[in-house]
Amino acid sequence: MGVHLSHLAHAPGSYTREDAPKESESKPEIPGHQRRRVRPRFVPDPSIRSQLGLQEQDVVVTMRPPAREAHYHNPQSDELFEAAVEFLCKRPELKIVVLPRNEKQAMWLRDRWPELFSNGKMRIPEKVVDGLNLIWHSDFVISGGGTMNREAASLNVPVYSIFVARLAPSISI
């Protein structure tokens, strides 16, 4: 299976890093559904990179694996996730921050790619991190779900979806 990633850029209601609010400002209102809104007082904190052991020159990709335990899970999403990791890990300047959905998934990731964890290419945050801040300081996001994809798009961070689902059958009325 080949990996073809489609890019969501400049989504409606997004803003650029240059538009980021300063500590004394609040973020501009984003039109749309409540779930598409980003926290109104979000202020980027660059210390997250050093907290995660990332250097300024690192190209950072944040990845969220597919929800394997969900009723809507499609194994093709797992194939896309694995293919993306295999493709990305060959880039020397790139670092992967993975946000597993649970401890079982974290163990699977460490067992599946032990060399990437041992050489620092892939990492799982040791403690909870501010997701919006991590997304903001990522060069791009790859996710097997919807929330992180919408958040990245609203922050104008390139985002790629590996979510695979069947289209609902059409209904004639």
Q: What is the DSSP string of 103-129?
A: HHHHHHHHHH-HHHHHTTSEE--SS--
Residue 10 domain-assigned (yes or no) = no
Give domain status of residue 3, yes or no: no
149 belongs to a structural domain: yes
**Rounded-to-integer distance, Cα 97 and Cα 12, Å:** 26
Note whether residue 22 is domain-resident.
no
For residue 122, with 0-12 CB atoms within 10 Å meaning exposed, 13-18 middle and 19 or more buried, which class applies?
buried
Residue 43 in contact with residue 22, Cβ under 8 Å?
Answer: yes
Cα–Cα distance, 13 to 75 (Å, whole number): 32
SS3 of 51, please? helix
Bridge partners (DSSP) listed for residue 123: 97
Tally Cβ neighbours within 10 Å of residue 98.
Answer: 23
pTM for this one? 0.76
Q: How far is CA 94 from the centre of its chain?
A: 14
Decide which of 167 and 128 is more confident.
128
Q: How confident is the model at residue 20 (pLDDT cuts 50, 70, 90)?
A: low
143: containing domain:
57-161
74 in a domain, yes or no? yes
3-state SS of 39-68? CCCCCCCCHHHHHCCCCCCCEEEEEECCCC
Q: What is the pLDDT of residue 79?
A: 92
Assigned domain for 13 exists = no
pLDDT in tens, 55-86: 999 999 999 998 877 777 777 889 999 999 99
Reported as a pLDDT band with limits 50, 70 and 90, residue 37 is low
Looking at residue 164, its pLDDT comes to 85
CATH of the domain at 110: 3.40.50.2000
**pLDDT higher than 50, residue 25:** no
22 has pLDDT over 90: no
For the CA atoms of 155, 94, 87, 9, the dihedral, rounded to the nearest 10 degrees, stands at: 20
- Is residue 5 helix, strand or coil? coil
Is residue 36 one of the residues assigned to a domain?
no
Instruction: Please state the domain count of the chain.
Output: 1
For residue 64, the cross-strand partners are 143
Asked whether residue 61 is domain-assigned, the answer is yes
